[in-house]
């Protein structure tokens, strides 16, 4: 998500009129270097619900008698940061083209943003066919940063939650004109065992066929995904202090593994 944007440029705009020794007068203004350790992947989990009578989920990593494992290690990344105090206990953090509002409490800066989105698409036919597709997502990004003299430490965290669902008529007539297989992408998540063949076929991708009763009522599938990630960052002051210097440094840095 935003991890790649963080590597492009990180501009933190802060304030400091609080009871804690932060702000322009105590010297957090200037250009800083941010070190970011490598993280190979987000921690994600899926939940699937459906009403297909014979279908089941199959782990994409189920290799039968085979076992497979892989790890990835890289060196950390480095990028430049500019910090400017504004006052009144409020702040804004700009990452690439995105802005995060923030506040300072007892010396800890907290920048965060929560977003959400939802769509709904439906079609129907007078001969008794209906199809509904919905999707929604929400995400939250936070960064905590604590300054001590010419250094700072912090935590960058991301979380997201998405839900996709499909509802479709179980059966329909040829006159509807969409073919014998429905629009639901059921086979991406569900399989079934076809015991009528010789030999039987195990783990066949499920679909919604117009001539078969495969569900209780209209066919339904819902997939929800939750992802979280968190990593620590370390910040140190440079000898550059003015905005013109940062114009030359904003795109400088080292990528993961380089």
Q: Classify residue 2 by its DSSP letter.
A: T
Q: Classify residue 244 by its DSSP letter.
A: H
Which of 58-62, 126-130, 182-186 is predicted least confidently?
58-62
Tell me the HSE value of 70 on the side-chain side, using a 13 A CA sphere.
Answer: 4
**pLDDT category of residue 167 using cuts at 50, 70 and 90:** very high
More confident of the two residues 134 and 143? 134
pLDDT for res 55: 94
pLDDT for res 77: 81
70 in a structural domain: no
Total number of domains in the chain: 1
Cα 193 to Cα 191: distance, rounded to the nearest angstrom: 7
For the stretch 199-217, pLDDT in tens is: 888 999 999 999 999 999 9
Cα 12 to Cα 65: distance, rounded to the nearest angstrom: 51
71 in a structural domain: no
Give the whole-number percent of the chain exceeding pLDDT 70.
Answer: 74
- Per the confidence metrics, is the pTM higher than 0.85? no
188 in a structural domain: yes
pLDDT for res 117: 96
For the stretch 23-60, pLDDT in tens is: 333 466 777 787 888 876 678 999 999 999 999 997 64
Q: What values do phi and psi take at 244, rounded to 5? A: -65, -35
111 in a structural domain: yes
96 in a structural domain: yes
72 in a structural domain: no
- Mean pLDDT of the residues in the chain: 80
Range of the domain at 137: 3-64+78-254
pLDDT for res 23: 39
């Amino acid at each position: 998500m935003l991890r790649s944007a963080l590597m492009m440029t990180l501009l933190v705009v802060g304030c400091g009129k609080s009871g804690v020794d932060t702000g322009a007068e105590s010297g957090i203004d200037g250009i800083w270097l941010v070190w970011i350790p490598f993280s190979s992947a987000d921690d994600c989990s899926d939940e699937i619900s459906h009403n297909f009578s014979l279908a089941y989920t199959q782990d994409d990593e189920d290799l039968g008698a085979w076992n497979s494992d892989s790890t990835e290690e890289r060196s950390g990344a480095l990028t430049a940061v500019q910090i400017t105090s504004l006052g009144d206990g409020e702040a804004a953090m700009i990452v690439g083209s995105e802005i995060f509002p923030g506040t300072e409490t007892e010396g800890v800066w907290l920048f965060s943003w929560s977003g959400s989105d939802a769509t709904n698409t439906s079609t129907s036919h007078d001969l008794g066919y209906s199809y509904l597709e919905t999707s929604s997502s929400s995400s939250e990004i936070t960064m905590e940063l604590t300054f001590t003299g010419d250094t700072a430490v912090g935590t960058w965290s991301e979380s997201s939650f998405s839900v996709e669902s499909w509802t479709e008529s179980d059966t329909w007539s040829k006159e509807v004109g969409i073919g014998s297989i429905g629009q639901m992408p059921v086979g991406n998540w569900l399989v079934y065992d076809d015991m009528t063949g010789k030999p039987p076929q195990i783990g066949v991708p499920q679909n919604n066929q117009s001539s078969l009763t495969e569900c209780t009522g209209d066919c339904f599938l819902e997939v929800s995904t939750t992802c979280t990630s968190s990593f620590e960052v370390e910040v140190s002051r440079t000898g550059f202090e003015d905005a013109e210097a940062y114009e030359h440094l904003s795109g400088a840095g080292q990528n993961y593994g380089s």
